[in-house]
A and B are shown apart, each in its own frame.
Chain A
Amino acid sequence: MSRLHRRGPAELHANLTPMIDVTFLLIVFFVLVSQIVEVENVDMSLPELADPRTELPGDEQRAVINVVPAADGSAREYKLGATVLPATEGGRRQLTDELASLLRRNPSMRINLRADQRTHYEWVQPVLQAVSTAAGNAGDVGARPRINLVVVRDE
């Protein structure tokens, strides 16, 4: 019996290069995005509102203040971007200074305020006060205290 073409006429190879390229791009994307989300958004239960008259966040430049919650309804600390500030009078003064510095560089910047739904108002109100004071301290650059109160829609 003839055993023609025993080893086959050609070698078959799957070219894996594009798949590896895309996979690495996806990994880099997820690594970067997860870090950005972690820096900006502390894990907390935001206020849930039924039928809110809210807007989606715009494209304007923003800074994010997180009121990091403690179990008893107080604030453990404040986070302005990646900067951690103690939830004390000194920390709030520092927060005001940092915000004033940001607003001096970018007067139209909006401040996103994220606070847990169980946090007591006495820990949130000083942040509103700090933003208002910081806009006043930012000098004559026309900074206005613009705050976004972050909530989630109760579906």
Chain B
Amino acid sequence: MSDDPRSVEQDANGDTVIEHRTARQRRGRARPRIALNLTAMIDVTFLLLVYFMVATEFKLGEEVYRLDLPDRRAAQAARDPFELDEEPLRIQIATLGRQGYRLRIDGPYPQPETFDDLHEFLRSRRIADEVPGGLFEPSHPIIIEPTRTTRWQHAMETFNAAARARFTNVTLGRAG
């Protein structure tokens, strides 16, 4: 067998035809070529890929409030018997109707109408260098007391108002 990959032949018109042949063709044309048709698999695979890319929803927008609930055992163990309790500031929140709400602060304070009012009240009463006449330390306990039917949205907005005013000891109380 010749090593030249080309075969030089004459066709019916007498023209010269040079035909390139692969090594396999040179070994023998009788052997069938085995090939795997991947087209259908690739089609299905891409369909699956597109489906999962469209259907997958990432929750990238979620953020968290870190709320460390009181450790009752540690609090009892470390309790100074002569220490006076710091009276917490209690804020009640109730949902009215579908979207309305009512805020109430325990004590002789101006009552806020909105969450922004509450935030402004708390910010103006926090003891800080830039706030003259503050009443409460940033670590002063604040207890938010939603009613049983208060929506979680309103409870969290109240919590957020206190957190935005930079109070650090904010807890959620029992359902009133």
**Which residues on A are within 8 Å of B, measured CB to CB?**
1-11, 16, 19-20, 23-24, 26-27, 30-31, 33-34, 37, 41, 46-49, 51-57, 73, 110, 112, 115-122, 124-125, 128, 131-132, 135-136, 144-153
Closest to B153 in A: A117
> Dominant SS at the B interface?
mixed
**B-chain residues with CB within 8 Å of residue A112 when the two chains form the complex:** 64
Chain B's closest residue to A152 (CB) is B61
**CA separation between A37 and B23, bound complex, in Å?**
54
Compute how far the CA of A57 lies from the CA of B61 in the bound complex, rounded to whole angstroms.
11
CB of B2 within 8 Å of the partner chain: no
Beta-carbon contacts under 8 Å, B69-88 to A? 69-74
CB distance from B7 to the nearest CB of A (A): 11
Minimum Cβ distance to chain B for residue A102 (Å): 15
Q: Which B139-176 residues sit within 8 Å CB-CB of chain A?
A: 146-153, 155-157, 159-160, 163-164, 166, 172, 174-175
Shortest distance from the beta carbon of A7 to any chain B beta carbon, whole Å: 6
B-to-A contact residues, CB < 8 Å: 11, 15-20, 22, 38, 41-42, 45-46, 48-49, 52-53, 55-59, 61-74, 146-153, 155-157, 159-160, 163-164, 166, 172, 174-175
Are the C-beta atoms of B151 and A118 separated by less than 8 Å?
A: yes
Q: Is the CB of B175 within 8 A of A125?
A: yes
Contact A146 B68 (CB under 8 A): yes
| Cβ contacts under 8 Å, B66 to chain A | 55, 110, 146-148
CA distance A139 to B172 in the complex (A): 25
Determine chain A's interface SS by DSSP, over half rule.
Answer: mixed
* Partner of B151 from A30, A119, A146 at Cβ < 8 Å: A119
Given contacts A3-B11, A49-B156, A132-B69, contact A120 B63 (CB under 8 A): no
Q: How far is the CB of A123 from chain B (nearest CB, A)?
A: 9
Most chain B beta-carbon neighbours within 10 Å: one of A31, A47, A56, A135: A47
Residues of chain A with a CB closer than 8 A to B57's CB: 37
29 contacts between A and B (CB under 8 A): A3-B11, A3-B15, A5-B20, A6-B17, A9-B20, A11-B22, A16-B38, A34-B52, A47-B153, A52-B164, A54-B63, A54-B65, A56-B63, A57-B64, A119-B151, A120-B149, A120-B152, A121-B150, A122-B175, A124-B152, A136-B72, A144-B74, A145-B70, A145-B71, A150-B64, A151-B65, A151-B156, A152-B62, A153-B63
